[in-house]
Structure 1
Amino acid sequence: MPLECVQIPPGTILAGYRVESELGRGNNGVVYLAEQQSLGRQVAFKILLPELAAEPGYVESFLREARLAARLDHPYIVQAYDAGATPEGYYYFAMELVIGPSLEDVRRDSPELLTFELIFRLSIELAEALDYAWTVHKMTHGDIKPGNLLISEETGELKLTDLGLARVSGSNTGDDIMATPLYAAPEVIRGETADVGVRSDLYSFGIMLYELLCGSPPFVGSPQKVLEQHLFSPPRPLAERNPDLDPALVAFVEKLIDKNPANRPASWLEVRDFLATLLE
C-alpha cells in the first residue's frame, strides 16, 4: 500500500518524474509540480488518491481522462503527456503545466478583474476549443465551470482542463452521468444520455456566464435544491440582476440556459461569433 498522496515528499521520483511541490487537490487526486527527468521539463503530475485506486471504476475513469485528453491538440486545451501506474502503486497522469489562476480564482479573489473584455475573450477561446473538440473528435466536456478554465500568466490565454466527465458521441462507457450541480443541464440531471451533447455544455456555459455577469449564479442552495431548480425553476431575469447589460447579451444568455436543449444555440461557433461581435 503506497503512502497517502499528501505525504509524497519533494524529491521523490515516480515513473521518471521528480516531485517538487503540491499544486492543488480535487475530489479524486492531488496535482503536483514535477520534473519529467527524461526531457527536463516541468509538468503537472496528477496522482489518483490511493483510497480510490482500490476501486477499479475510479482507476478506469482516471485513465480515461488521460486518454481523452491525449486526443486533443489545441492551444486552448491543456495538453496530455503521459499516464500509467508506478511500481509503488500510484496511478498518474502527467500534463502541461499551466502557471496562472483559474477563472474561479479570479471570480472569488479578484472580481474587479472580471471586465467584459476578459469574460468575452475567454468565452470566445472556450468556444473555439470546444468547437474543435466536437468537430474533430465528437467530444463534449461535461463539466464546464470557472474552476476548469485556467488563465496562463505567460500568455493570458485560456487553458481548458479536467476532462474527467468528457464524453465521445456514440460511445457507451456504462458510467452514470455526473456533473457539478451548480452548472448541470436539466437533461444531464435526468440522465437522458441520448440528449447529452454540445447543447448540454452550452447550458453549463450559459449558467457560468450568468454568474460572471451579475456576481452570483441563478440557482443557490443545497446541491439537491440547486438540481431541482435547474429542472423546474426559472432563473431570476438577468436584466434585473444587472440592468446595465446589453439587451442582446441578456437575450443570448437566456437562450443558452433555456431548459429545452432544442431552444439553445446550435453550436459553439454561434457562441463565438456572437461574442466576437460584442467584443468588437
Structure 2
Amino acid sequence: MVAASLVGPRSVTELGIVVGLRDVGISITRLVAYGGQGTLYEAAAVSTGEKVAVKVLHKVSPSDHRRSASQREKVLREVRMMHRAHVVSPQLFEDDKCFYIVSEFLRGVDLHTLHLHRSFTENEILLMGRQIMQQLAHLHSPNVGIAHRDIKPENIMVKNMRTLELQLIDFGLSECVLESPDGLVCTFPGTLQYKSPELVSATSAVDPLPSDIWAAGCVLYKIVCGGFPFSGARGEELTKHGIIKRSPSMDGAVWKQVSMETRGLIRRLLSKNPRERPSARTAMLLIDQILASRELPPVHGYELVPVLPAIRF
C-alpha cells in the first residue's frame, strides 16, 4: 500500500493538479513490464523504502480533445473501480505528460506463467477455483457491484507458489453495475477465448456478472488440460461459433483423471444460458462440498475479504 505520508495535499482525486512523482516522494527503481495500456514500474517511497507499483500512462496530445477526454475518463474509471473494490485505495497523480497510478507492489507470478512450468492436482485446481470465486463474490456483492470483465490466467497473480494463494488483478476493463439503472452494460471488451456466449453474440446490453463466472470456468478448464474449451476452432469466427454452439469437450486422458464432480462443476460454469450458471458465492459453496467429501483439512486463510490493490496488464 502507499504510505499515507506520500499522499500530502497534492494527491489527485479530481484530476487537474500538475505533480511529479518526486514531488510526492516516490522513486522509480526498475521496469517491470510494458504494453499497449502503459508501463509498469517498481518504485519505492523515499521516506520509508516501502515498495509500490507505478503504472505510467502517457497522455495523448491535449490538442486532440476527444481522445484526451476519453483517455482521462478511462483512467478515472480504472481508479474508481479500484477504489470500489479495495479497502486500501490506489493513488492517482498526473503531470503534463503522464498519469501515474500508484498501488501496492504485488510479488509473485501470474497463473498463466506458472502453468507453463508445472501442472496442478485436481485438489489444487479446486482450491484455486475457490479463491477466484471468493474474490468474485466480493466484487459482485450488492455493496460493491463490480464486474471484472477480464478474468484470465494472465490476470490472476499467484502470490505464494507453495500455498497457491491467488489474487485477481487488473481492473482496466471493469465496470460498476451499480452505475447503470438496470445493471447492464453496452460494451463488450475482453479476450475472445474467455468471452461468454452472450458477449460474443451481443446485439444489446447484457448483465456482465455471469460472464465473469463463464471466464472463471474457462480458467479452470485451461489449467486442467492446458487448452481452451473450444480450442478445436480455427479463426475468430469459428471460435465465436464454438463458444455459442458447441459443448466443451472433456475427452482425453487428462479428463479421465478428473472426478465427475469437478467436471460437473466446470460444465455448470460454462452453461450457455447465463441464468443457469451459479453465482460466485454458490460456486464457492459447490467447491466446498466437493472438498468436504474428500475429507481434506479445513481451508484456512481464504476468508471472503476485499481484493487488495495491484496493477498488472
Match of 1:6 in 2: none
Say yes or no: does 1:106 pair with 2:117. no
Q: After superposing the two structures, state which structure 1 stretch, 207-216 or 173-182, moved more.
A: 173-182
1:273 shift after superposition: 1.4
Q: Could you state the TM-score of these two structures normalised by the residue count of structure 2? A: 0.74
Alignment-derived partner of residue 164 in structure 1 = 172
* 2:39 match: secondary structure: strand
Secondary structure at the aligned position of 1:237 is classed as: coil
Mapped to 2, the partners of 1:103 and 1:177 lie a distance apart of: 24
Counterpart check, 1:246 vs 2:259: yes
Range moving further from structure 2, 94-103 or 43-52: 43-52
For 1:150-189, list aligned pairs within 5 A. Answer: 150-153=157-160, 156-172=164-180, 176-189=187-200
- Separation in structure 2 between the aligned mates of residue 243 and residue 52 of structure 1, nearest angstrom: 56
Partner in structure 2 of residue 127 of structure 1? 133
Q: Tell which structure's C-alpha radius of gyration is larger.
A: 2
Aligned match for 1:278, one of 266, 281, 290: 290
Residue 6 of structure 2 corresponds to none
CA drift of 1:203 comes to: 0.5
> 1:33-83 CA distances to partner (integer Å, 9 max, x unpaired)?
011335542111111244599633233213311111112236xxxx54201
Match of 1:139 in 2: 146
Q: TM-score scaled to structure 1, two decimals?
A: 0.82
Structure 1 residues not aligned, in runs of 5+? 1-11
Shift of 1:28: 0.7
User: What amino acid is the match of 1:237?
Assistant: M
1:52–1:158 distance in 2 versus 1, CA, 3 Å: farther
Alignment of 1:251-270 (within 5 A): 251-265=264-278, 267-270=279-282
Residue range with higher mean Cα deviation, 117-126 or 24-33: 117-126
Amino acid corresponding to residue 245 of structure 1 in structure 2: V
How many angstroms does 1:102 deviate by?
0.7
Structure number with greater CO (CA < 8 Å, separation at least 6) is 2
Structure 1 residues 250, 225: closer, same or farther in 2, change over 3 A? same
1:17 is matched with 26
Aligned to 1:117: 123
Q: Say if 1:238 and 1:66 are closer, same or farther in 2 by CA, change over 3 A.
A: farther
- Secondary structure of 1:105's match? helix
Please tell me the root mean square deviation across aligned C-alpha atoms, in Å. 2.7
Q: 1:170 to 1:70 in 2, by over 3 A?
A: closer
Paired letter, 2:289:
T
1:30 aligns with 2:39: yes
Describe the shift of the 1:242–1:105 C-alpha distance in structure 2 as closer, same or farther (beyond 3 A). Answer: same
The answer (yes or no) to whether the contact 1:15–1:86 under 8 Å persists in 2 is no
What is the letter of the counterpart of residue 269 of structure 1?
R
Distance change in 2, residues 1:26/1:226 (3 Å): farther
Q: Is the 8 A contact 1:28 1:52 kept in 2?
A: no
**Shift in alpha-carbon separation, 1:152–1:52, aligned structure 2, 3 A:** farther
Q: 2: CA distance between counterparts of 1:115 and 1:32?
A: 34
Tell me by how many angstroms 1:143 deviates.
0.9
Measured after TM superposition, the shift of residue 212 of structure 1 is 1.0
Judge conservation of contact 2:133–2:281 (CA < 8 Å) in 1.
Answer: yes
Matched, 1:209 2:215: no
Residue 4 of structure 1 aligns with which residue?
none
Q: Which has the higher helix share?
A: 1
Distance 1:30 1:234 in 2: 39
Count of aligned pairs between the two proteins: 261
Output the amino acid matched with 1:144: I
Q: Secondary structure at the match of 2:92?
A: strand
Letter aligned with residue 171 of structure 1: E
Q: Is the 8 A contact 1:141 1:163 kept in 2?
A: yes
Aligned-partner residue type, residue 121 of structure 2: T
Listed as ranges, the matches of 1:64-75 within 5 Å are: 64-73=77-86
1:197 equivalent in structure 2: 208
